[in-house]
Structure 1
Amino acid sequence: MATALQKLPQLLLRQYNLASCQCLARNLSDGEKKLLDQVNEELSNIRESGLWKFERVITTKQDSHVKVQNDDRRILNFCANNYLGLSSHPEVIAAGQKALTDYGAGLSSVRFICGTQTIHKELEEKISKFHGREDAILYASCFDANAGIFETVLNAEDAILSDELNHASIIDGIRLCKANKYRYKHLDMRDLEEKLIDAQKCRHRMIATDGVFSMDGDVAPLRDICDLAEKYKAFVFIDECHATGFLGGTGRGTDELLGVQSRVAIINSTLGKALGGAAGGYTTGPKPIIDLLRNRSRPYLFSNSLPPPVVGCASRVFDILTKSSGLVENISLKTERFRGQMVKAGFKILGNNHPICPVFLEDAKLASGMAEKLLQKGIYVIGFSYPVVPVGKARIRVQISASHSNEDVDRAVEAFVEVGKEMGVIS
């Protein structure tokens, strides 16, 4: 006999299910209680130390000007990875909308089953041509690309030599790999050479580095790294997430900037920063490497393919970049303008003339407090502290976009000067 619940109209049944899921009362086990006590203690320590990561809620599209929840002002956004201002570009949005209409919201599948569409192959071809490489493979994120590359290409007979300040995704990807692991001091070529000498006992040697280091905005010395790779029969891998699209004369990245495009073996990068800002990552390099990744890379084999709207947006971005380098020149000039004025005002700015402009403050509470005061003045920035950066090296990471006007840059500097004097950062 059907129960009374089963006889309810379908709409009421759905409402019942939703309501029952919203407030689930249950008895906690002793093990779970013990865990939650420990977690709450840790959360309390995070708050007290000034390291709590508050998430501001943006109520508009990503742009140089945004609105945040409970605030009607249009606030200047200086902390997005939207380097070229393309996250809300009309042509990029239109391309995403067309892909949504033509190809749907998603594939509900991984690539090798029924998750590959023509637009995926077209985007991979554009990526490889953009970087001057033989082939490319798409991932859900560059974090996934970094998780998939090392354990697929190398094994216990090989060696990976990694800069100590490489991105967390590189570090985590290397942990998954059984290769012999060497960590060299940040940008220290003497230390890298010593470790390369020791690694001669291994079959293959990969030097893995960020092209640009995201917390400091400093650029890897790729010429020297490539020289060492050739001397000790190694090959070079670079993560270009904070370089692709805007660094170098035509935005090809760090290898173009330093004139070593033909000497870098493998490039990983993201579609989620300068290249439309949605999601997605990729590996590009020799075709045999890409073929191996298609057959063995776990994040690729076991993750749904990139959604068509994301693919459509990114594909249009590559079209824009291929036609003109105007955006690259634009962001370079804005970067020089901001850095020059901030240094003149007395701030310590880290990095190598990169759009990542870290305002170095050391103290975590100072960084978060200064960011809040800047928000009051209409400047959206975030204080970075442990574990994102080491203890005692807190900073506000300002990021310049091609969509910022000169007036936007000047206004940000003016606000920094006012708050900096108020808080005793500068005199």
Structure 2
Amino acid sequence: MERLFNLQELGTNIRTEIMAGITTFLTMVYIVVINPAVLSAAGVPFDQVFVATIVSAVIGTIIMGLYAKYPIAIAPGMGMNAYFTSVVATHGVSYQVVFGAVFLAGVLFLLLSLTKFRETLIRSIPDSLKYGITSGIGLFIAFIGLRDAGIVVASPSTLVTFGDLGHPVTILSLVGLFIALILMARKVSGALFISMLITATIGYFTGNLDFDGIVSPPPSVEFFDLDIAGVFSQGLYSVVFAFLLVTIFDTTGTMIGVGEQAGMIKNGNFPRAKQAFMADAVATTVGSTIGTSPSTAYIESSTGVAAGGRSGLTAVVVALLFLVALFFSPFVSAIASLSAITAPILIIVGCFMMEGLAKVNWKTFDEAFPTFATMLIMPLTSSIATGIAVGFITFPIMKLVSGKWKEVHPILYVFGAIFIIQMIFFPTH
């Protein structure tokens, strides 16, 4: 095993890699609960999403560990699952159609991973827009968390307003949120997952949560009949593009960040990048056929690297632990049924996604406004695709009128024009 993963060359050992894998798993296992809870709101059967989440995580992470040999874990991404649900609701289409869009995005990602166009596309998008998109997704899922917790509720006069803090679910949500915040502040490993367990325990003893069991054989699932034709008949091209674009640069950013932390990137060179992207693309494509939203590299992998993980063995350990989670579906289903347990995690993860805003040059208006518009539109329209479209339209226009048109990559002008045509003549709402 040491020879397979080059452990000696990387300055690590089997014990360190196993501990690093356990650390990474504990920091990201919340997705096993959160993802089914979010997608089931779109009508997707809970057990189907539960198994699909684990299967896609195992496939992507195993490929990452054995093929790319990086200590990076793959799983369905936060934000994309919430966007999936919003597409079903706002476009009035079946979840089979949206899974068709995810499948197409996955296939395109696979193809792009084999070409240079992926790198060209990433370079063409300015950093400020990337940060705006990531932050907009963060606001989007944080808003969903606040809504699920009952902290904000619908209002006929102001659209949203402050909720009733005396409601049992809201009280428990706030308790869970503060438990998570305390654990995060104390830098406890696996803080989000531990906070969910504590909140679930409180919910059980206060009568808000019932368990029908803890362990059971894995639920049986079947492949979906993807409605790919519906993607074209409903004109969901911007949805496919949103899934594709966010997955590409989210994965790229995470891999580069974790790779640099692990000391694997030398002079800007990212070895085995093609293999690493294949892991994500395959997980997304396969996941769409059995019931989950796009997969991505998890930034939580950095906790495993901090624990000493340097090789693909760390990722293999994470994948094996996800397989073990397959046998806890009754426990996961019960926890996911109480929004007070999952809502605080959505709020905190939303906060994590704000980090890039510190890198935006807010004093340069033609950089600042497109970023602001992108992140503002996403939560207000419940559409990541619309936020991306607004950013891709306003950025080249602002640079053009500022006399800085040469700073814009030609691809961005093309996409801007396409989005203008789509929003005027082929609106998605």
TM-score normalized with structure 1 length: 0.24
Larger radius of gyration, structure 1 or 2? 1
Select the structure with the greater relative contact order (CA < 8 A; seq sep ≥ 6).
2
Q: Which has the higher strand share?
A: 1
TM-score normalized with structure 2 length: 0.24
Q: Which has the higher helix share?
A: 2
